[in-house]
Amino acid sequence: MTTKKHKLLSNPWFIGTGSSILGVIILEYFGLTKILSSIWSVIKWIANLIADSFHIKVQVSLWFLILLPFLVVGLIVLILWLMSIKKKEKEVAKESSFLDYKEHQFGDVLYRWDYVLNYTGKMVVDNLTHYCPKCKCMIVDDNCPVCHENFYNKFKSHDEIIALITHHIETNNLNK
Ligand SMILES: [Zn+2]
């Protein structure tokens, strides 16, 4: 009997099966609930995480929806403001660009001039002088001191030249 018992206990199949059953029993009574509750905890945690993130998402999109009209209006105002600045810059550039326009040949005479600020704060033509268009020398007593060309009767009146210069500035045609 003892040898039979001993034989049975030393049988690897008996030991293997027995320990497996014992393991399952131990697991059933002491471990399974813990494992199950652990798995349940993980599932709950994941579910909570998903629910939380969904809640946050909903909150964010709600805030976004509330802020959206303000953002759009703000963006439009910003674009319009930037456009007005650009337009103003262009106008200023256009207004001051004529200051480099300081000579023009009208007819047979080259005219040169400066600009001065008048009492109304406007830039006006000043110091209008006559030059020979060929040698760019100032005309003295209707004559060019260099090529001796005579300019008698070739001058336009001062008012006519001012009118022509003003017209070229106003039409932005500043090529000589
Ligand atoms: Zn000349």
What are the tens digits of pLDDT across the range 77-125? Answer: 999 999 998 888 887 776 677 899 999 999 999 999 999 999 998 889 9
Q: How far is the CA of 152 from the centre of ligand 1 (A)?
A: 13
176 within some domain: no
Asked if 108 and 76 sit in the same domain, the reply is: no
CB 127 within 8 A of CB 146: no
**Does 21 share its domain with 74?**
yes
Q: And the tokens for 119?
A: 């009492």
Give the pTM: 0.48
My answer on whether 37 and 91 are in the same domain is yes
Q: Which domain holds residue 122?
A: 101-170
Q: Are residue 149 and residue 120 in the same domain, yes or no?
A: yes
- Distance (Å) from CA 145 to ligand 1 centroid: 7
Asked, for residue 29, whether it belongs to a domain, the answer is yes
Our count of domains for the chain comes to: 2
The alpha carbon of 115 and the centre of ligand 1 are apart by a number of angstroms equal to: 25
Alpha-carbon distance of 28 to 35, in angstroms, equals 10
